[in-house]
Chains A and B, each alone.
Chain A
Amino acid sequence: QKEVEQNSGPLSVPEGAIASLNCTYSDRGSQSFFWYRQYSGKSPELIMFIYSNGDKEDGRFTAQLNKASQYVSLLIRDSQPSDSATYLCAVMDTGNQFYFGTGTSLTVIP
């Protein structure tokens, strides 16, 4: 059974701080990695994707991938109260199958 593990949280950070969200996956052959943001009662929204080892930056968001350690993370700089949401990690394997983590709840405190 392929697994994607996330700390369920809740994770609380003060406004303006860096929020760090982590995800590990079990399938070493996984190729593509995604971060979704889900506000309460809403559907998930794709915010970042990464395919290669290293960092990928988009505005205040940075995705980090380490395939050797089977680890992917999302950093949110200058966190804002509007970033308060559940963040889902998703992994696509070599067979194009998607696996989602259960999400980490983030609260940014004004």
Chain B
Amino acid sequence: SQTIHQWPATLVQPVGSPLSLECTVEGTSNPNLYWYRQAAGRGLQLLFYSVGIGQISSEVPQNLSASRPQDRQFILSSKKLLLSDSGFYLCAWSVGPSGQQYFGPGTRLTVT
């Protein structure tokens, strides 16, 4: 069966510090991968999605970037965090045209 991992689970970072969040998927090949952010009391905002290694599409201009160095690894990064970057970061995967997305456990980021 498929499993998706995210780490760390929680993170507290000062403004201006760098960020690296990692997501890995097990049990499937060639997944579509997604990064979402959910601010407190808000809906899910799609940040990036990837259909393959090195293929990244950005949905929202911001100080975040994403990379996919391996088929089942997706990384979200920032060089300098802003207060507005606080939120619940979710990685998701899907396979094929069905569109069913499955979410990882998430990383709760607080920028202080």
- Minimum C-beta distance from A6 to chain B (A): 9
What size tier do the contact residues of chain B reach? 10 to 19
**A98 close to B101 (CB less than 8 A):** yes
In Å, the complex CA distance between A41 and B9 comes to 11
Is B97 interfacial (CB 8 A cutoff)? yes
Q: Which of A36, A44, A90 has the most CB of B within 10 A?
A: A44
- Minimum C-beta distance from A95 to chain B (A): 11
Contacts of A46 in B (CB 8 A): 100-103
Nearest residue (CB) in B for A51 is: B98
A67-95 near B? 1/0 per residue, CB < 8 Å: 00000000000000000000010101000
In Å, the complex CA distance between A41 and B104 comes to 13
Using a CB–CB cutoff of 8 Å, the interface residues on chain B facing chain A are: 34, 42-44, 46, 88, 90, 97-106, 108
Q: Which of A17-25, A54-62, A99-107 contacts B (4 or more CB under 8 A)?
A: A99-107
Using a CB–CB cutoff of 8 Å, the interface residues on chain A facing chain B are: 31-32, 34, 36, 41-46, 49, 88, 90, 92, 96, 98, 100-103
Contacts of B44 in A (CB 8 A): 44, 88, 100
Among candidates A43, A49, A96, A98, residue contacting B97 with C-beta atoms closer than 8 Å: A96
In Å, the complex CA distance between A42 and B88 comes to 9
In Å, the complex CA distance between A105 and B105 comes to 20
**A98 close to B46 (CB less than 8 A):** yes
Question: Given known contacts A43-B103, A46-B101, what 8 new A-B pairs fall within 8 Å (CB)?
Answer: A32-B98, A34-B99, A43-B105, A44-B44, A44-B103, A49-B98, A49-B99, A88-B44
In Å, the complex CA distance between A22 and B20 comes to 37
Q: Can you report 22 residue pairs joining A to B where beta carbons are below 8 Å apart?
A: A31-B99, A32-B98, A32-B99, A34-B100, A41-B108, A42-B105, A42-B106, A43-B88, A43-B90, A43-B104, A44-B44, A46-B101, A88-B43, A92-B99, A96-B97, A98-B34, A98-B99, A98-B101, A100-B44, A102-B42, A102-B43, A103-B43
Contacts of A43 in B (CB 8 A): 88, 90, 103-106
